[in-house]
Structure 1
Amino acid sequence: MPEYAELLKGYRRFREDTYPRQKERFDKTIAEGQHPKLLIIGCSDSRVDPAQIFDVDPGDIFVVRNVAALVPPFETTGGQHGVSAAVEFAVQMLEVAQVVVMGHGRCGGCQAALTKAFEDTDHGKGAFIANWVGLLDEVRDKVARKYGTEGRKAELAMEFAAIRQSIDNLRTFPWVAEKEAAGTLKLRGAHFSIAEGILYSLDEETGAFLPEE
């Protein structure tokens, strides 16, 4: 298939250029293990790679990506809790100093939550998506009442609301709340505008997303 062949072209550039330049860095992470200071929870969208946006070196950030950059609330019931496991590993084992929830513009997951596009699929196409973005149902209703469910203004409000909800959900994890209260862990929200190439950071005092210089 040509798609994988194209990837291999990039791999060869990596082997010829990037890997030799970063060899010392890779060797250090092998010898000492990984010690990232930040956990970034981002969206799976192919246009918003955190490593590219923040221009970081290998080992600098621990990244979890999923549809709409969501964090479910803490729970102890059975199931496959991939995001929760990654958060636990980063916070408890790697002892990251900060957790950044990074949403983005034109997020299809947030749009699906807002419009309930896959709500009536009945285990058909989109059922997994509908169940996942259902985490946003409560905040979605607030956005819909204020802005409706169509147009960029409503979509942006939904994207911002999703970031705030994931931060609230992070605080339901006991060890996250304890570390935040002790001042050893900082939670942040961010939104990357694909159209502008600008990162907006959440000001927790005002609740506004402000552009970074």
Structure 2
Amino acid sequence: MKSLLAGYQKFRKEIWPSDKEHFVELAKGQNPHTLVISCSDSRVDPATIFGARPGDLFVIRNVASVVPPYETNSGYHGVSAAIAFAVINLEVARVVVLGHEYCGGVTAAMSTEDLTTPFLSQWVSLLKPAIHKCGCEHGQLPVEYESIRLSLGRLMTFPFIAERVEKKGLQLLGAHFKISDGTLSVLDNKTGEFATVPEL
């Protein structure tokens, strides 16, 4: 806890004085421009990667950046509820599915061994279509890319998203962050391939 409190104290001393007015405005309500569906991995922070300020991004984080299928049963749909809130209530302009290199969730999904972590096996089984499409013989990176495509496809099964894409210009985008070299690749929706974002 010491290091967390030290971080807070640094925030209050170095960031809060210059950003106080911004936070006062945020206290009146949020108006993020983008929903980011990202992995829970501690090495992949969307705000850091995209250089965003508080209030810019509405972020959903889960193991492997998974978008579950659209379902209307009585189960617990935390990810789907957050997606609905961002798209319907906050009216974000775009949704970004952000995957990353060396994703432990993808590794778990590709594993042939029984997973002992509670809840994990069923969750990462949602990535099986991506694994079947790519196969395991080409390594993990193609599966990471395909998992992003899979989640983007699943977003379109949500009726309120499909309607807003068609009628209101809601953008659905895929991106992949390489931890090893800090580069970001974005999915070209026309070619279906990922291309590295050029540096300034």
For the superposition of Structure 1 and Structure 2, which TM-score range results when normalised by the shorter chain?
Answer: over 0.9
Name the counterpart of 1:101: 97
Name the counterpart of 2:184: 199
Matched, 1:81 2:77: yes
d(CA) in 1 for partners of 2:21, 2:70:
39
Name the counterpart of 1:55: 51
Name the counterpart of 1:130: 121
Matched, 1:182 2:167: yes
d(CA) in 1 for partners of 2:23, 2:151:
32
How many positions carry a matched residue from both structures?
198
- DSSP 3-state at the match of 1:7: helix
CA shift for structure 1 position 116: 4.0
- Counterpart mapping for 1:126-165 below 5 A: 126-144=117-135, 147-148=136-137, 153-165=138-150
d(CA) in 1 for partners of 2:112, 2:93:
36
CA shift for structure 1 position 57: 0.9
- DSSP 3-state at the match of 2:27: helix
Unaligned runs of 5+ in 2: none
Paired residues of 1:116 and 1:130 also in contact (CA < 8 A): no
Question: What amino acid is aligned across from residue 186 of structure 2 in structure 1?
Answer: S
- DSSP 3-state at the match of 1:100: strand
| TM-score, normalisation: structure 1 | 0.90
d(CA) in 2 for partners of 1:210, 1:202:
6
Moved over 6 A (4+): none
Question: What amino acid is aligned across from residue 119 of structure 2 in structure 1?
Answer: F
CA shift for structure 1 position 52: 0.9
Name the counterpart of 1:18: 15
CA shift for structure 1 position 161: 0.8
- DSSP 3-state at the match of 2:139: helix
CA shift for structure 1 position 142: 2.1
d(CA) in 1 for partners of 2:134, 2:117:
22
Name the counterpart of 1:45: 41
- DSSP 3-state at the match of 1:194: coil
d(CA) in 1 for partners of 2:83, 2:97:
11
d(CA) in 2 for partners of 1:176, 1:21:
37
Percent identity of equivalent pairs: 48
CA shift for structure 1 position 61: 0.6
d(CA) in 2 for partners of 1:51, 1:19:
17
User: Counting helix residues as a fraction of each chain, which structure ranks higher?
Assistant: 1
Q: What do you get for the CA RMSD once the two structures are aligned?
A: 1.2
d(CA) in 1 for partners of 2:11, 2:118:
37
Question: What amino acid is aligned across from residue 115 of structure 1 in structure 2?
Answer: S
Unaligned runs of 5+ in 1: none
Question: What amino acid is aligned across from residue 143 of structure 1 in structure 2?
Answer: C
Paired residues of 1:104 and 1:192 also in contact (CA < 8 A): yes
